Amino acid sequence: MQKPAIPHDALVLVGDGSRAVFFRNNGSLQRPELVVERTLLLAENPPTHEQGTDRPGRRAESHVGTLRSAREETDWHQLAEERFASEIADALYRSAHAGQFERLIIVVPPKVLGNLRKALHKEVLDRIAAEVPKELASYSVNAIRSELASWG
């Protein structure tokens, strides 16, 4: 996959299910100078087994005799990540609507990208210059900056 060039003044979102860092390219297309504008963090999100209170319920099928089936357990961790994707989408919408960026590059893992796409407003979708399904959010800010600058 070819990595995208980062236009001057573009907004670059690097995130995952629990962290989103927004960079602005204050440099040029050939020599990006990425500056952190904002960071969003998901409130504590422990694994689902630590969030659930009980085993999933069961239901009886009265018209088929005594057959029972277990209900699927709620994945609280996944729900929190989906809500976080909505928070990111809302922040991007407010910024786009205020005219704070014209081009957006999104760098998030594939699963997060799917959640984010579902939540993004058309006004933001129209400004996406590139989507890169890659995990960089766990890197330090300097390592992210170096990785993104090498795309120029």
Does residue 139 surpass a pLDDT of 80? yes
Does residue 8 surpass a pLDDT of 70? yes
CA 88/CA 92 separation, integer angstroms: 6
Cα distance from N-terminal residue to C-terminal residue, the chain:
15
Q: How many CA atoms lie within 13 A of 34 on its CB side?
A: 27
Helix (H) or strand (E) holding 25: strand 19-25
Total residue length of the chain: 152
Place of tokens 């029972």: 68
Q: Which CATH superfamily is domain 1-41+76-152 in?
A: eRF1 domain 2 (3.30.420.60)
The domains of the chain are located at 1-41+76-152
- Rounded to the nearest integer, the mean pLDDT of the chain is 85
Q: What is the pLDDT of residues 19-59, one digit of tens each?
A: 999 999 999 988 899 999 999 998 764 555 555 555 555 55
pTM: 0.79
Mean pLDDT of the 67-84 span: 72
Mean pLDDT of the 94-114 span: 96
CA 81/CA 58 separation, integer angstroms: 27
